[in-house]
Structure 1
Amino acid sequence: MADNRKAVAIPVLSEDPNGRKNNEKKSREAESQKMTEEDERIKNQVEVLVTRAADSDSNVAGAAIRQLEELLLTNTGGSVASVPKPLKYVRSMYAQLERIQKETSDPANAMRLHDILSFVAMTIEFPDGRRAALEHKLQGTQDDLEQWGHEYLRYLSGCISAEWKERTSKGEPVDHLSNFVQQIVVYMVAHQDEPTAIDLLMEVEDMSAIISHVTKDNHRRIANYLAAASKYLTRPMDTAALKVVYNIYLEVGSYTEAVSVALQLGDRSLVETLFQKCQNPSMRLQMALTCAHFSYLWMLVTRRTGSLTKPWAIWGFHGCIV
């Protein structure tokens, strides 16, 4: 029988596709490693400034340090979500900068170098767990945290929390950290990052300090975060958090919200305080109904006559006002 099968040409790639992909990957990596003219300019600028920072003339060194600081702040905006080029090159010279700082005799220049080292340290993971960012800042400028930006302050907040916990466990003083705590809280509240401020105050066991930063605009965000956080805290921290929430609502005159918190706390005196302070009939009625919902019995007596103010006497499960 005749074989009618025909040969079919099968195309074969002249090169391994995997090999081509690998070559393309290597090509991209090589391209990414090539420094652009702008990168080269920044790198050279950083190297020159770091070299001049070690100059024996304190004026020359001071000018270089100020320029280096401006370069970091201008190009990072306080954010290091992706490491900017100036910060990248300064980081590579971190050890050299630390050495220069130790050898600097001018106090003002030494403090500025501590500031720079503190900022750069947040991008470095130290194997010994050293909190270099906090260490350097404690020896640097004490009242300029705001200019270093949001991300730096968040990082420093974490360092302070860890340092505070470690020192208090050893019975060591922590007063030197209070100034930084205050600055961070002010900055975070002003930039609507209340959770970071509250978390820091919780760590340093000073939650009530947030009350002085409460306004009509932010009080609900602060109170809601504290109330939610209280559910995950152990005693007595959970009670302390709710008391702060109560005082926040009291501060801004949100009596109906405050009465719910007071009932959660089971504190009769707090409820009575609210009824005494609140003079709005509609609001007092809402508070009374809330108390009735919680089966809370209380009768308000007027100060002048000692007689029972009947509309605010609350009784029973059914919210009956008598």
Structure 2
Amino acid sequence: TPLRMTALDMIVTELRSSTSSMTAVPKPLKFLRPCFDSLKKAYGSISATTDESDLLVFRARLADVLAVLAMTMGKIEERESLKFKLMGLADYALLKERKVEHSVTDDNMGSWGHEFVRSLAGEIGQEYNARVNDGADPDEDSSFADILGMVDIIVPFHVSHNAESEAVDLLIEVQRLKRLLDIDTIDNTNYRRICLYLVKTADFMSDPDDLSEMMETALSLYRKKNEHFDALRVALRMGNDDIISELFEECEDDLIKKQMCLLLARHNMSYQYEDDDDDLNELIGNVNLSEQFLKVAQDLDVTEAKTPEDIYKSHLAETGGFSRRRDTGGAQVDSARANLASTFVNAFVNAGFGQDKLMTPDSEWLYKNKDHGMMSAAASLG
């Protein structure tokens, strides 16, 4: 047994060093392919209830090796990689229960490389769906205790290695997205990516319950990190007015509160701030919207009204524009269609500035139109 354990430790060392960064199938995996069936027979020859602690340690360690080998050699439909890993974890638990001291005190899945962890995550999703199809209750953790234990190891690993999307995908597969809130590896460097992925993924959720859980998880993460403005965006998407009041109560930054009020105004929310703060309620009601718009326009030096010709740039064209055709001899003829086009261009390009060069100076332009053109010209004022 000591000799077998030494040989197995050498295999473990080679596998770990080769699978830590996998760009192609590592040579140790290629060399061990012919031995895969023999190793499985050796594993099966050792009883899980053996009284010999050394044999149980060897069996647990061999299960780890077989799980890695099955990643490329096992049959996909049998999920052998996950099967051996679960049996290995069961053996380690038995060793711990027996209080057996051994060199391997903790088997870190991440030590076998990121590709192995990804492979396990994929098989966990398949195993979960298979158990649900066999009649297991998705809401009962007891039916999935073994694979959920692995999920609790894999998800923090993904989060700490910049694979937040894979962590979220795994939790979605096993319908345990709320567990994301209990992960210690979520910090100020990665929570934004996680929340953004949750919100964007929600666009593709067809099940209302899954959609609600996803949005609630993103909302809880934002609130946990005191990002009340982003939390408000999620709350507005959820249509939950009660949470809006809670977010205002939680927020202590006056500037953030003003941003939240402007966001409510942008969504045309008829929300009344309970503290009777006139400034905040005016922001929610868009009272100062025109004044703020004009201030921005002044800062950008774009307050001067533009004419349709400024937009057409017709003086640069070879054929010229409407006004050039009028200026090149003969009587000037107004085209109803051209005037209507100029009315719309004038209305949109000067919207919000409170002035233009067609309608505000006098009413002459109004009478250069007929029927619907006159109606459009009048409507362009407001």
Shorter-normalised TM range = 0.7 to 0.9
Once residues 279 and 91 of structure 1 are traced to their aligned partners in structure 2, the CA distance between those partners, rounded to angstroms, is 62
1:178: Cα distance to partner? 1.4
Partner SS state of residue 78, structure 2: coil
Once residues 162 and 201 of structure 1 are traced to their aligned partners in structure 2, the CA distance between those partners, rounded to angstroms, is 13
Q: 1:65 aligns with which of 8, 12, 16?
A: 8
Asked if the contact 1:299–1:310 (Cα under 8 Å) also holds between the matched residues in 2, the reply is no
Asked if the contact 2:36–2:66 (Cα under 8 Å) also holds between the matched residues in 1, the reply is yes
Deviations 1:21-72 (A, max 9, x none): xxxxxxxxxxxxxxxxxxxxxxxxxxxxxxxxxxxxx111111111111111
Once residues 150 and 192 of structure 1 are traced to their aligned partners in structure 2, the CA distance between those partners, rounded to angstroms, is 11
- Normalised by the length of structure 1, the TM-score is 0.75
Q: State the 4+ residue runs in structure 1 displaced beyond 6 angstroms.
A: none
1:22 matched residue in structure 2 = none
1:287 aligns with 2:236: no
Amino acid at match of 1:139: M
1:113 matched residue in structure 2 = 62
| CA-based RMSD | 1.9
1:56-205 maps to which residues of 2 (within 5 A)? 58-77=1-20, 79-104=21-46, 106-126=55-75, 129-141=77-89, 143-172=107-136, 173-205=143-175
Asked if the contact 2:272–2:281 (Cα under 8 Å) also holds between the matched residues in 1, the reply is yes
2:333 matched residue in structure 1 = none
1:257 aligns with 2:230: yes
Once residues 168 and 282 of structure 2 are traced to their aligned partners in structure 1, the CA distance between those partners, rounded to angstroms, is 36
Once residues 265 and 314 of structure 1 are traced to their aligned partners in structure 2, the CA distance between those partners, rounded to angstroms, is 24
Partner SS state of residue 174, structure 1: helix
Once residues 280 and 19 of structure 2 are traced to their aligned partners in structure 1, the CA distance between those partners, rounded to angstroms, is 59
Deviations 1:224-259 (A, max 9, x none): 111111101112212221111111111111111111
Amino acid at match of 2:14: L
- Normalised by the length of structure 2, the TM-score is 0.64
Once residues 236 and 178 of structure 2 are traced to their aligned partners in structure 1, the CA distance between those partners, rounded to angstroms, is 20
Asked if the contact 1:298–1:314 (Cα under 8 Å) also holds between the matched residues in 2, the reply is no
Between Structure 1 and Structure 2, how many residues are aligned?
257
Asked if the contact 2:198–2:218 (Cα under 8 Å) also holds between the matched residues in 1, the reply is yes
Deviations 1:166-195 (A, max 9, x none): 112323311111110011001101101001
Unaligned runs of at least 5 residues, structure 1: 1-57, 303-307
Once residues 243 and 119 of structure 2 are traced to their aligned partners in structure 1, the CA distance between those partners, rounded to angstroms, is 38
2:198 matched residue in structure 1 = 226
Asked if the contact 2:74–2:80 (Cα under 8 Å) also holds between the matched residues in 1, the reply is no
Larger Rg: 2
Once residues 236 and 190 of structure 1 are traced to their aligned partners in structure 2, the CA distance between those partners, rounded to angstroms, is 28
Amino acid at match of 1:313: N
2:287 matched residue in structure 1 = 320
Unaligned runs of at least 5 residues, structure 2: 48-54, 93-106, 137-142, 290-382
